[in-house]
Amino acid sequence: MTQPVFDMMLIALVLAAGAWSILARSMMTAVIVFIVYGLLLALAWVRLGAVDVALTEAAIGSGVTGMLLISAAARFARDPAALRLPSLSSRALAALLASGVAVALGSLALLLPGDAPSLAAETMRALPESGLGNPVAGVLFVFRAFDTMLEKVVLLLALLGVWSLARDEAWGGAPALKPLVQPQGVLPLLARTLPPIGLTYGIYMTWAGADVPGGAFQGGTVLAAMWILVVLAGLAMFPKVTSPWLRWAVAAGPVVFLLIGFAGFLSPGLFLAYPEGYAKPLIVVMELALTLSIAVILGLLVAGPPAGREAR
Amino acid sequence: MSAADLYWMAGAALTGLGVYGLLVSPHPLRKLLGLNLLGSGIFLIFGVIARRGAAAGLGGDPVPQALVITAIVVAFSATAIAIALLIRLHAEEGSASLDDPPAGNDAP
């Protein structure tokens, strides 16, 4: 009976990391502990039988979010507002309110119906028709494909939002993220040896995601990480935001998704429905286009808005 | 109490921690950390709901699991925009603080 002990230890660690990232005095400490928190939380997702979610949490919730947070925290380290805590009484009031929320949410567990509603059996019954083996991929690309399409559009809109924060005179330049000038460091070596492994692994994750946990998002994140690594090591530069290939790479995923979606009107007669027997190949095409777009969009989101010549 | 219930309680506690961070943290980036913690607590509760729906040989109901994946991506997108806004604010004002600058005191 070591499993409950493991769960309790894991939960204690997750809660401790979460509390530390809220209460830490230094902003950089808080951010780094938050990244650790994300990785621990990914383990909790594995324990809940959700390996696809665990991979997403580790890649996005911890990894890419963490990169953004670190670069922001480094800029804000000397902000005067960072240490000005509210008075003891307002903190006590906030703690009271927050515990109220936690207790209310926690007690909901006691009100749950005995037999949980589940679409697991129905998903497994319909899954073979799609040719996919991973039920989560089936939900994402067949049963709830509309949600997945909109999710990619949200990501695209986030990039547009970040780009629109560029200064007028900087528009058309390359993103702000600059290489770390560190010629004797370990980064250039890593940036030369890791990408072949990372590229293979990222594409494998996308490909294998049809049948086992993985998929376009997780694979795309690995590819984005490789791109950022190469740029940080100074081996390549981010292209200008006006570059046509960049625009196409960003749009490829949603465009292919929409094209295949509209093609559904021709064959089975429904938006985002796949003609019988062609579901799997069409989904693979969609996933490959999505992987490219996700990798480029994530890389550009980390890179920030175009900064022009007068950057920092 | 089953292991899944333990994770439910953890999700509730993390949500509470997130609310506290959101209310108390003086700096907007710290508030953003609180918001992310709050979100991940809710997602974890959703994960327990998925776990309770385990059937047909699966470890959990794949429908809520897929929804959480979408939720994580949307939360990330919102975080990315928020950070870009803060960085621009910092570049314009010299500080990412949300407080009004005190009257008659020039910003550094």
The 3-state DSSP class for residue B99 equals coil
pLDDT digits (tens, 9 = 90+) for B8-42: 999 999 999 999 999 998 889 999 999 999 999 99
pLDDT digits (tens, 9 = 90+) for A266-295: 877 888 888 877 888 888 888 899 999 999
**Lowest mean pLDDT across A22-26, A111-115, A301-305:** A111-115
**B98 in a structural domain:** no
**B60 in a structural domain:** yes
Q: Which residue has the tokens 């073979």?
A: A128
- CA distance linking residue A198 with residue A63, whole number of Å: 15
Count: domains in chain B:
1
Q: Which of A22, A12, A67, A20 is nearest to A44 (CA)?
A: A12
Minimal Cβ distance to A123: which of B10, B62, B70: B62
* Whether the Cβ atoms of residue A249 and residue A241 lie closer than 8 Å to each other: no
Residue A168 pLDDT grade (very low, low, confident, very high; cuts 50, 70, 90): confident
Interface ipTM:
0.90
- CA distance linking residue B27 with residue A75, whole number of Å: 13
Residue B100 pLDDT grade (very low, low, confident, very high; cuts 50, 70, 90): low
Q: How far is CA A226 from CA A134, A145, A220, A235, B73, in A?
A: 26, 28, 10, 12, 19
CB-CB neighbours of B74 under 10 Å = 16
- CA distance linking residue A189 with residue A183, whole number of Å: 10
User: Does B16 contact A57 at a Cβ distance shorter than 8 Å?
Assistant: no
Minimal Cβ distance to A98: which of B7, B19, B56: B19
Tell me the average pLDDT of chain A. Answer: 86
User: Does B47 contact A53 at a Cβ distance shorter than 8 Å?
Assistant: yes
Q: Which residues contact B82 (CB under 8 A, 6 or more apart)?
A: B28, B32
* Whether the Cβ atoms of residue A228 and residue A190 lie closer than 8 Å to each other: no
Residue A47 has pLDDT above 80, yes or no: yes
**B20 in a structural domain:** yes
Length of chain B as a residue count: 108
| Å between B45 CA and nearest CA of chain A | 9
User: Does B75 contact A7 at a Cβ distance shorter than 8 Å?
Assistant: no
- Residue-level pLDDT at A4: 84
* Whether the Cβ atoms of residue A228 and residue A59 lie closer than 8 Å to each other: no
Q: Higher pLDDT residue, A75 or A78?
A: A75
- CA distance linking residue A27 with residue A72, whole number of Å: 10
Q: What's the whole-number mean pLDDT along residues B63-92? A: 91
**B106 in a structural domain:** no
User: How many Cβ pairs closer than 8 A exist between chain A and B?
Assistant: 278
**B101 in a structural domain:** no
CATH code for the domain of B47: 1.10.287.3510
Q: Which two tokens stand for residue B11?
A: 């999700």
User: Does A94 contact B3 at a Cβ distance shorter than 8 Å?
Assistant: no
Tell me whether B75 touches chain A (CB under 8 Å).
yes
User: Does B96 contact A79 at a Cβ distance shorter than 8 Å?
Assistant: yes
Residue A1 pLDDT grade (very low, low, confident, very high; cuts 50, 70, 90): low
Residue A238 has pLDDT above 80, yes or no: yes
Q: What's the whole-number mean pLDDT along residues A207-221? A: 86
**B104 in a structural domain:** no
- Residue-level pLDDT at A311: 43
The 3-state DSSP class for residue B36 equals helix
**B16 in a structural domain:** yes
| Å between A310 CA and nearest CA of chain B | 12
Among all residues of chain A, which has the CA nearest to that of B35?
A22
User: Does B14 contact A27 at a Cβ distance shorter than 8 Å?
Assistant: no
**B80 in a structural domain:** yes
Determine the structural domain holding residue B59 and report its residue range: 3-93
- CA distance linking residue A237 with residue B37, whole number of Å: 34
User: Does A120 contact B58 at a Cβ distance shorter than 8 Å?
Assistant: yes
